[in-house]
Structure 1
């Protein structure tokens, strides 16, 4: 009792009042779990039914944010309580939970003094921590209760050095009511009621701290799903591939998530410190030079890097972009935002322990990625997989050596039914042997919907529109279909957080820092282009472009292309009855020949548009097209032929290019019988807007 007094007296709690306090916490929790102490409403989009995990509700109006769940689980009450009390095992945002003291009560219960740290989900707000009193007791009706509430006071936690990076939050009476069933299993009621001190965060992300939906998805529903997952694994219903036990794979997912959270938060007591931070940078750089670097967030490994780890991170606001569709696109089309040489640098450094400057051994990424599933949760809300990126070495001496890159990847929140959940794509380079104790240097993306009641749906994203026609045409992948399915369930505002980690040699900090900053900026730029293309205003059916009065430049450019072709060649590119109507864009998009346009505003000229046949020939999408230059697509003979007719093209307005070879972005050769090039004039017919090409009867060799 002396130890209890030592901890409780500074928090203004008298031992003689303890029993009364515990009863008060218990009564308040039970009134929320089974009563009407909170005005509960059904969780939007989570309708109960035979296939439902359980019944979910969120608070309609109360102090703080609250969520409630009820469901049937095939485990005994004591086992459920044991699992749920170990909050870091299932609550991915929980950094640590430490029980400072435990002592029994006269009624057979247990009292615990608990200190908990919770990660911040973005780089835009500080993390939260809690001091709570937890009471575990079996009631007279054999129901097991675990209830918890914050204590008054301001204890600094186990590490006073990190206290400045946390904001003290409050847990109102919350917990678990577990009722045993006669035939086995249990019925569990879960209540999470928090005050996350939202006024201490920037207004743009304040909805994250005021949303009961977010609490429901991150904590309440996650807890019930985790318990059901463990129950099914215990019963042998879950079968995983590659001979890995479910618990091992689950550990990999947890380590990836934890590594990404540590990178986003950059806690001082983990060894992180900011570098070159003047407050004006769009990308934040932090370095970790701790000698026991990996023990802080990856206890499986004690490998220390000679120079440490550098992290580049950024957060940005997205509007009118379905998070589900964006994460799916990033997962399926890595070549459109990632740099293979950067992947190769990280993978090689981790594998060999040598730290050459980034890009010293250039490789050619084929654009091909093979995704090999490892396992998934029972409701498919989380996927664990190995990704193999195929490459070809450019140096002749490496011709017979495999330089493929392997990534361990976890993808969450891509289920259309996961209403309001955040979507994540987190990955780390691994050795192809994939040992259980592999070092995981996690990087990735997190997109969290902002459930703001005051957000204006008319508010539009005011970033530069660099896609032009791209933003009104389909992306050429499943992302447009995913976005159409997700648009009705996604919020119009969300916050995107990006964090990339790089191993660091002791003498390469400046080089890696420059590379990391530039790389994250290029990734941000690519994500912005993708976001515009898959936003609801840019969605279309798979078969034809969407004609939108909100984006007239698409139709305008199509008319200019066809008008220039008619003026210079004397023939029609599309049926004559469509050149003055909206169908001109549809006919141009579906034209059998590959039609491409490149801008002359930069040298070498960069492509700005291609129809579906053009995208097929280059094996790319409208988004990635923005990074392809004219000189990259021609083979040697075709390049010489184009150079020979270029003067004629600029003087006469058009030219014919004889049969030749084009190169796709995947390195494949495509032959064409003839190509026609012509100038596309703007409305005033005195300004050259771009050059257009039509590759006739093309086919892959």
Structure 2
């Protein structure tokens, strides 16, 4: 008994000791955060006092004088040095520039050199990544962040200096020269290449001086600035596809906290040379919010993520180490950026482009898809990899909502057979084009989460697409496809953040060294300007009637978000990669171009369906050029029906009564009609261009997939014979009757109907035939 009591007392004391240690750690963190907030408050008070003391006129004058002096100073220091102490060609001159860079950086990080304002949508608090601010009025774009990180200063500096590991837009960073600068500091000359986010603008590069040193108070500093113009740095051949941008004094201030951890201040100040991009994209290069999201906040999140992983706070599923999952995310992102940019030194070249193609085809015959840990596991591609890519502008479409839809409803835009082809090509010797095994996608996708970042701004997951063979001998063979996927930017309140969905086929065993060929979507919001008009983009979108009919209820759900989405614009970039054999290059290129165009069309229809603008008069939904709007086509269908109503009275009378209703009610009644009403085009192979809700239910399809269905595919053999025999009568007299029969849904289910009434839909002049309408009366599944 005494021994048991003693053991119990020891356990209680151990629990008390652990709890006391935990509370002390929490208290140290709170004290450090309180210190940080007090310093930030002092800085803001100084800034307010400065603003109050200066009148508007004097401040403008001083700003002009300071800008001129700064420009002259930069010219003398950076471009045309005139003093030996500031000569960037010798160590003494570089040290002078480094010390000046340090002073300017510290004045931005902790002083009032820049008018910082709080980043919209990011309020400081216990759940926030830190305190984030952007510049209000300064040259270039600038952002600042500060926060508490549970890592030592030297470890944080080591992580942040390795920019390609955490900055997804960083293609390459190379240190050309490094030498000591006294007091344990170092000076480095660094050349950095950045990826372009879209196919519409060239990439950027930087030639900078990076200064690492320790301050008297023990703080660790890494600061950086550009050294010169486009003529300096590595050879011009290496930078031929880049536009030289400028880094103004920026960097990291890392201060140790008592008891462990660090307080970090991050400043990013850039001039991205917005003049070199199309005018419509310039807001992307002139926005401090974008820089804050892509660089400043990303850096702070990354070091916090590493701190959590180091402390063991992060536990991921499937037994994967956090570093392995992080590597997968980086490889997906880098492969996607490689495809979008298509740099010549990576082996990419444009294939037969005359400048007028909407889809760019690039090929890479030298691209290697081996893993870093096991180069012997390379995938042997006889031909190489082909990339089909395109960029377009969207209006009034929330990027986060669109990416969520693309992620959750893959069957609305993807072709299972194309996914199967790419997955099969990853296995040596199993090229499946053009004789791919016939497989039917069941429409089911299972999302298996692997991990996420600290604020869930990025999700890594495995997608399983379930497929079944249509060949009898392979009926019991699994045709499932697995995709490794990252999804980011799904928070609608994250101002300036881009949204991405990037995926790549992966072996079902999910090996750590699996080769990846990423494809996907990137949607980047563009800040609106007051002078922008909605008409500038409506002509660039191809919209369909069925999307507009779904907009009604969708608009109601998002009505509260309309003010934030109206007049907003974003740029959508799509890139899909396909391995190919050299003998099939032309075939794969044709398939890739057609597939990407099909995806673009599907995404545009989805974008219209989720757009808060809905059926507004300002941005009316339209079909392809020359086709009517939704309301107009509904009126034509009802007016043309009058010609057959006296002959066939089986069709519900609501269509007749629609004549006396307003145009909105005509469309509503047609959409909600209980019989399945379908319209098809007058082509040699008629395809459906419209279906009401009952029609979609009968076909078991969706708005996006409707236009992929041909008329003959839904009828059985007797139905097709009846259609062929009476088609001439339909075209001659304007209507026709088909007796009771059986048709088939897209999922293979049989549908019975009492009769089908068909009639020609005439345009307003009552002489031009626009399409054919079919009404399936009293249909039901067998």
Q: TM-score, normalised by structure 1?
A: 0.89
Q: Does 1:430 align with 2:506?
A: yes
Asked if residue 690 in structure 1 is aligned to residue 756 in structure 2, the reply is: no
State the alpha-carbon separation in 2 of the partners of residues 228 and 21 from structure 1. 31
- What residue is the counterpart of 1:102 in the other structure? 178
Whether the 8 Å CA contact 2:394–2:572 is kept in 1: the answer is yes
Say whether the 8 Å CA contact 1:595–1:694 is kept in structure 2.
Answer: yes
2:552–2:614 contact (8 Å) kept in structure 1: no
**1:583 aligned to 2:665?**
yes
Is the CA contact 1:324–1:482 (under 8 Å) kept in the aligned structure 2?
no
Distance apart, 1:180 and its partner CA: 2.9
Q: Residue 57 of structure 2 aligns with which residue? A: none
> What is the aligned length?
687
| 2:709 corresponds to which of 614, 620, 628 | 628
Alignment of 1:156-167 (within 5 A): 161-167=237-243
Aligned to 1:669: 750
1:303 shift after superposition: 3.7
Q: 1:294 to 1:156 in 2, by over 3 A?
A: farther
Q: Contact 2:359/2:593 (CA < 8 Å) preserved in 1?
A: yes
The runs of 5 or more residues in structure 2 that have no matched partner are 1-83, 622-627
Residue 288 of structure 1 deviates from its aligned partner by 1.7
| Cα shift at 1:223 | 1.2
- Correspondence for 2:158 among 79, 82, 95: 82
Deviates more, 1:168-177 or 1:292-301: 292-301
- Distance change in 2, residues 1:292/1:366 (3 Å): closer
Q: Is the 8 A contact 1:162 1:268 kept in 2?
A: no
Question: 1:66 is paired with a residue of what secondary structure?
Answer: strand
Alpha-carbon distance change, 680 to 504 in structure 1, aligned in 2, over 3 angstroms: closer
Query: Which residue in the other structure is 1:249 paired with?
Result: 325
Inter-CA distance 696–386: structure 2 relative to 1 (3 Å threshold): farther
> Is 1:335 the equivalent of 2:411?
yes
- Compute the displacement of 1:363 (Å): 3.0
Per-residue CA deviation, residues 494-517 of structure 1 (Å, 9 max, x unaligned), is: 222222211121322222223223
Give the corresponding residue for 1:310: 386
Match of residue 461 from structure 1: 537
**Alignment equivalent of 1:420, drawn from 490, 493, 496:** 496
Q: Residues 374-424 of structure 1, C-alpha deviation per residue, up to 9 Å, x if partnerless?
A: 222232221222222233333333333222222111111121122221111
The question of whether the paired residues in 2 share the 8 Å contact of 1:26 and 1:147 is answered with yes
Larger relative contact order (C-alpha < 8 A, sep ≥ 6)? 1
Q: Deviations over 1:620-655 (max 9, x none)?
A: 222322222211222334434544554565566555
Query: How far apart in 2 are the matches of 1:9 and 1:355?
Result: 64
- 1:384 aligned partner: 460
Task: Please tell me whether the aligned partners of residues 322 and 491 of structure 1 are also in contact (alpha carbons under 8 angstroms).
Answer: no
**Is the contact made by 1:383 and 1:410 (CA closer than 8 Å) also made in structure 2?**
yes
Q: What is the Cα deviation at residue 613 of structure 1?
A: 2.5
Q: Equivalents in 2 of 1:469, 1:111: separation in Å?
A: 62
Paired residues of 1:270 and 1:293 also in contact (CA < 8 A):
no
Q: 1:257 Cα deviation (Å)?
A: 0.4
Residue 542 of structure 1 corresponds to: none
Matched residues in 1 for 2:620 and 2:325: separation? 47
Q: Is the 8 A contact 1:406 1:432 kept in 2?
A: yes
1:606 to 687, 702, 706: 687
Which secondary structure does the structure 1 equivalent of 2:583 belong to?
A: coil
Question: Displacement of 1:454 after TM fit?
Answer: 5.7
For residues 194 and 373 of structure 2, what CA distance do their matches in structure 1 show? 14
Give the secondary structure class of the aligned counterpart of 2:239.
Answer: helix
Match for 1:496 among 569, 572, 578? 572
Greater helix share, structure number: 2
- Aligned partner of 1:543 in structure 2 is none
Question: 1: distance between equivalents of 2:415 and 2:747?
Answer: 15
**1:5 aligned partner:** none
Tell me what 2:16 maps to.
none
CA 232–575 in structure 1, closer or farther in 2 if over 3 Å, else same: farther
TM-score (normalised: structure 2): 0.80
Contact 1:131–1:155 under 8 Å retained in 2: no
The 10-residue stretch of structure 1 (665-674 or 407-416) with the greater mean CA deviation from structure 2: 665-674
